[in-house]
Amino acid sequence: MNEYVIETKQVVKAYGSFLALNHVNLHVKRGEIYGLIGDNGAGKSTLLKLLAGHSYVTEGEIRLFGTYGAKELENSRKKIGFMVEQPGFFPNMTVEQTLTYYCIQKGIPDSRKVDEMLQLTGIDEKRRSRCKTLSLGQKQRLGLAIAMIGEPQVLVLDEPINGLDPSGILEFRHLLQCLNEEKNITILLSSHILNELQQVATMYGFLNKGILIEEVSARALQEKCSDCIEIILSDVEKYAVLMEKNFPAETYKIFPENNIRIYKPQRPAEVYSKLASENDIYITGMKTIQTSLEDYYMELKKRGGVQ
Ligand SMILES: Nc1ncnc2c1ncn2[C@@H]1O[C@H](COP(=O)(O)OP(=O)(O)OP(=O)(O)O)[C@@H](O)[C@H]1O
């Protein structure tokens, strides 16, 4: 069985001369909650729309459950629930009518399915409310209910927590975790806010200006963000020269305020302080700090976004 339920190979999406996606290689494994992170305009919706078959790739290939080719992808998409654009709600229809409509559209004219989806997504009490009266969070739940109708193995959700208040985010996260753990559903979801995905994602993909700059597991990301030594020095330029001679460039970073950060230090802190003292550089401060995921992401963007 193919390891990836969703895979893209060198996918390019061009609008005229503008590349909304630039040779993207995405890998979503079965069972994961994959968080696709990127700023406004990074290309997240473009990528998810391609997966949903709402537009064509300019170059490259999409593979779903290991299949490719137009007919095969069409079949594979039936096993995926998509919430990639604002679901089309009819404002005057009730929640129940809306779900019934989508059930019929998907060839499942069964009222038990409607009940099941209402229960699953926690909007049963709103079944007789008109769609136009729903809160944003309730609309997201209804969108999820629609995406879940065909009992998908995979859910693809574009910014599902966008605009939710903190308790809404918490509830939605909990719902996604339940679907993932109890129903074994693989989830690919996008957001422009890393912190929102932090509690739920098991894998991250960072998209910046159409380029997927890194895919990293949540565990590896935690490790990357762990311990960093910050040293404040009397002469950071001189110290930088010594560091360059002794340590790989990617293990440290010099900051303008006379300080240096050593990421995931391989050697005891004394080694770094000794290097300073032996070369007549005074250390005025030294501490261990934890890099936040946001800091890591900002740094990654700076590196990956150089064009
Ligand atoms: N149909 C289109 N024609 C031309 N440019 C487009 C089209 N659709 C998207 N773009 C451009 O492609 C880029 C990526 O857009 P996309 O909607 O994928 O970003 P996003 O990461 O989803 O952003 P957001 O978080 O704001 O939703 C943007 O610069 C956008 O203006």
HEC assignment per residue over the chain: CCCEEEEEEEEEEEECCEEEEEEECCEEECCCEEEEECCCCCCHHHHHHHHHCCCCCCEEEEEECCECCHHHHHHHHCCEEEECCCCCCCCCCEHHHHHHHHHHHCCCCCHHHHHHHHHHCCCHHHCCCEHHHCCHHHHHHHHHHHHHCCCCCEEEECCCCCCCCHHHHHHHHHHHHHHHHHCCCEEEEEECCHHHHCCCCCEEEEEECCEEEEEEEHHHHHHHHCCEEEEEECCHHHHHHHHHHHCCHHHEEEECCCEEEEECCCCCHHHHHHHHHCCCCCEEEEEEECCCHHHHHHHHHHHHCCC
Domain residue ranges of the chain, discontinuous segments joined by +: 4-222, 227-289
Tokens encoding 115: 């009940």
Give me ligand 1 centre to Cα 32, in Å: 26
Residue 20 CA to ligand 1 centre (angstroms): 7
| Protein residue with its CA nearest to atom 12 in ligand 1 | 20
* Distance set, CA 36 to CA 67, 88, 159, 262 (Å): 22, 24, 9, 28
Q: Indicate the burial class of 71 (C-beta count within 10 angstroms; 0-12, 13-18, 19 or more).
A: exposed
With left for phi above 0 and alpha for psi between -120 and 50, is residue 122 left, alpha or beta? left
Cα 81 to middle of ligand 1, angstroms: 22
Torsion of CA 229, 201, 160, 76, to 10 degrees: 140
In words, the CATH class of domain 227-289 is alpha beta
Nearest CA to ligand 1 atom 10: 20
- Per CATH, is 4-222 categorized as 3.40.50.300? yes
Q: At what angle do helices 166-182 and 136-148 cross, to 10 degrees?
A: 10
Residue 290: CB atoms within 10 A of its CB come to: 10
For atom 18 of ligand 1, the residue with the nearest CA is 43
155 residue type, one letter: L
Question: Which residue CA neighbors atom 6 of ligand 1 most closely?
Answer: 15
The predicted structure's pLDDT at residue 24: 97
Closest residue (by CA) to atom 9 of ligand 1? 46
- Residue 15 CA: nearest ligand 1 atom is 4
Q: Tell how far the Cα of 110 is from the centroid of ligand 1, in angstroms.
A: 37
Tell how far the Cα of 196 is from the centroid of ligand 1, in angstroms: 21
What does the pLDDT read at residue 142?
92
Residue nearest to atom 8 of ligand 1 (CA): 46
**What was the ipTM of the complex prediction?**
0.97
pLDDT at 2: 67
Report the separation in Å between the CA atom of 48 and the middle of ligand 1, taken as the mean of its atom positions. 11
Cα–Cα distance measured from residue 123 to residue 129, given in angstroms and rounded to the nearest whole number:
10
Spacing, Cα 10 to ligand 1 middle (Å)? 18
| Residue 205 CB-half CA count within 13 A | 27
Q: Are strands 154-157 and 18-24 parallel, antiparallel or unpaired?
A: unpaired
Per-residue pLDDT of the chain in tens (307 residues, 90 and over written 9): 568 999 999 999 999 999 999 999 999 999 999 999 998 899 999 999 999 999 999 999 999 999 998 999 999 999 999 999 776 788 899 999 999 999 998 888 788 889 999 998 889 999 999 999 998 888 888 999 999 998 899 999 999 888 777 888 888 888 899 999 999 999 999 998 887 788 899 999 999 999 999 999 988 887 777 678 889 999 999 999 999 998 888 888 888 788 898 887 878 888 888 999 999 999 999 887 776 777 778 878 876 643 3
Q: Whose CA is nearest to atom 4 of ligand 1?
A: 15
List all residues whose CB is within 6 A of at least one atom of ligand 1: 15, 20, 38, 40-46, 192
Taking the centre of ligand 1 as the mean of its atom positions, its distance from the CA of residue 233, in whole angstroms, is 44
Query: Ligand 1 centre from 37 Cα, in Å?
Result: 14
Please tell me the pTM assigned to this model: 0.79
CA distance 268 to 279: 18
Residues 6+ away with beta carbon under 8 Å from 14 = 20, 58, 59
CA nearest ligand 1 atom 17, residue: 45
Q: 231 near 258, Cβ under 8 Å? A: no
Atom 25, ligand 1: residue with shortest CA distance: 40
Cα-trace Rg, the chain: 24
Q: Which residue's CA is the nearest one to ligand 1's atom 27? A: 40
Query: Which residue among 26, 36, 46, 197 is best mutated to probe the pocket of ligand 1, counting the most ligand atoms within 8 A of its Cβ?
Result: 46
